[in-house]
Amino acid sequence: MANHRFQGLKLWRKLTRRDWTIAAASLSILIFTISFISHSQRYSTNSTTPANNWIPFTPLTKAQHKSAFCLDGSLPGYHLQKGFGSGSDKWVLHIEGGGWCNSIESCSFRQTTKLGSSRFMEHEVQFSGILSSDSSQNPDFFDWNKVKIRYCDGGSFSGHSDSEFKNGTKLFFRGQVIWEAVIGELLSIGLSNAKKALLSGCSAGGLATLIHCDDFREILPKDANVKCLVDAGFFLNEKDVAGSPTIERFYQDVVNLQGVANSLKKDCTSRLEPYKCFFPQEFISNIKTPLFLVQPGYDFWQIQNILVPGSSGPLRSWVRCKLNINSCNSKQLEVLQDFRNSLLKTLGGFHQNPEGGMFINSCFIHCQTWMTETWHSPRSPKIDNKTIAEAVGDWYFNRNEAKHIDCPFPCNPTCYNMDFTQI
């Protein structure tokens, strides 16, 4: 144990100034992400979701045989609630989010949390939002088979074992294998007979949904109605307010560390460096499966970690604005408006996709589909008098046009804007 600690100290001492900056930023991202997830879970737990919606954790039965392990070597898994009635042959899968780790240090820290080890995960979770079984809260998918896939690899289910370090750190980069093992097990218990299926994900889970969307379509019956829903998973490749490519460097480290390139779209990696193909804007046009994007125009995670990261210098004037959009001054709001405009410009091509759907609201929030309050409730954010659930349902069942783009902040009084000064 002492030698292990000594090796860790030597690793830290070898870090360059850039390494220190990125390592500190990635650790702050992880700590913040865990804090937000815990806050959101408490918020959902205190909602009107029925108490009997607590769903136990199911570890993968063949994980060891398939060598599918979380970062720390523990068994990955999922939570499953069986469908009923007309929903017994329909499936909605939701991939949990939680950022990424880009270095030995940040991945080592992550493996001591529920985002890197099933040993720290809850034994049961409450299903709400798109996973709710209450028809008043989830009108189109309440009776479907519902699965929450737990996230414990730190690479959006895209890492490969041939990139693992053999220097005593004992980190497992098995994201791709975990994905294949989870889907394989679900296929064996009914997913293979699905008539309808929706793969969804939040944040890093949304990015995983984009990466694996077409693969998911391929493994299901040809006559099944298969679509994908991405919640706050469209991460922009933008420089921060200090002019530094912070998120690009971060993604480059994630892709290199975990061997993510082998999971990325080949038509993208053939023309660009692999890490650039971790950005959805570089490969979304090549996704063949119908896709719906739920994306806040003022995604607080992207504002706090891409636009104004802690590593961008002593920008004390941004501290309050990053925590509460209502505390931003006029110049800061101009910067945020430009960031939103970059999102809309980047999505210009997708907007023309006849099979695509979108709900781009002007809220200071991150994930919105897995909490009842933002998915479908009397207090939910709306565009064109539609909740997110209603817009997604219109798109999935081809009921109505489903491209909704909000006016700029602060025009929408239905927004649920996070206030991190209260956490």
In the prediction, which pLDDT does 422 show? 80
More confident residue, 346 or 34: 346
For the question of residue 299 being annotated catalytic, the response is yes
Average pLDDT for 388-400: 97
Say how far apart CA 90 and CA 86 lie, in whole Å.
Answer: 8
Residue range 28-42: mean pLDDT, rounded: 49
Collapsed DSSP state (helix, strand, coil) of residue 200: strand
Mean pLDDT on 402-406: 97
Q: How confident is the model at residue 187 (pLDDT cuts 50, 70, 90)?
A: very high
- Taking the C-alpha atoms of residue 392 and residue 313, their distance in angstroms, rounded to an integer, is 40
| 47 touches 372 (CB < 8 A) | yes
Average pLDDT, the chain: 89
Question: What confidence score (pLDDT) does residue 183 get?
Answer: 98
In tens, the pLDDT along 83-95 reads: 999 999 999 999 9
- What local confidence, expressed as pLDDT, does residue 30 receive? 53
* Residue 80, strand partner residues: 147
DSSP class of 232: S
Beta carbons within 10 angstroms of residue 143's beta carbon: 17
Q: Which position among 44, 203, 311, 377 bears the catalytic label?
A: 203
Q: Which of 160, 366, 376, 404 is catalytic?
A: 366
Query: Region 170-185: what's the mean pLDDT?
Result: 96
Structural domain total, the chain: 1
pTM: 0.89
Q: What is the side-by-side order of every strand in the sheet holding 291-294?
A: 124-126, 54-59, 77-81, 145-149, 90-95, 196-202, 225-231, 291-294, 357-360, 403-405
Report the relative pairing of strands 90-95 and 145-149 from DSSP bridges.
parallel
Range of the domain at 88: 2-422
Which of 16-20, 26-30, 207-211, 314-318 shows the lowest mean pLDDT across its residues?
16-20
Does the pLDDT of residue 140 top 90, yes or no? Answer: yes
Distance, in Å, from the CA atom of 149 to the CA atom of 414, rounded to the nearest integer, reads 30
Residue 316, pLDDT score: 76
For residue 202, the model assigns a pLDDT of 98
Summarize pLDDT for 224-265 with one digit per residue, the tens: 999 999 999 999 999 999 999 999 999 999 999 999 999 999
Q: Report the C-alpha gap between 66 and 1 in whole angstroms.
A: 29
Residues 6+ away with beta carbon under 8 Å from 163: 173, 256, 257, 258, 259
Q: Per-residue pLDDT averaged across 54-58, rounded? A: 96
Average pLDDT over residues 175-202: 98
Q: Which residue has the higher pLDDT, 39 or 419?
A: 419
Q: What is the CATH number of the domain that holds 247?
A: 3.40.50.1820
User: How far apart (Å, rounded) are the C-alpha atoms in residues 64 and 178?
Assistant: 11
The model's confidence at residue 14, banded by pLDDT at 50, 70 and 90, is: very low
Report the percentage of the chain scoring pLDDT > 90: 81
Structure-token pair, residue 221: 């019956």
| 376 catalytic residue (yes or no) | no
Whether the pLDDT of residue 407 is over 60: the answer is: yes
The catalytic residue among 231, 299, 394, 406 is 299
More confident residue, 306 or 170: 306
DSSP letters for 116-153: T-GGGS-SEEE--GGG---TTTSTTTTTSEEEEE---S
Catalytic residue check, 134: no
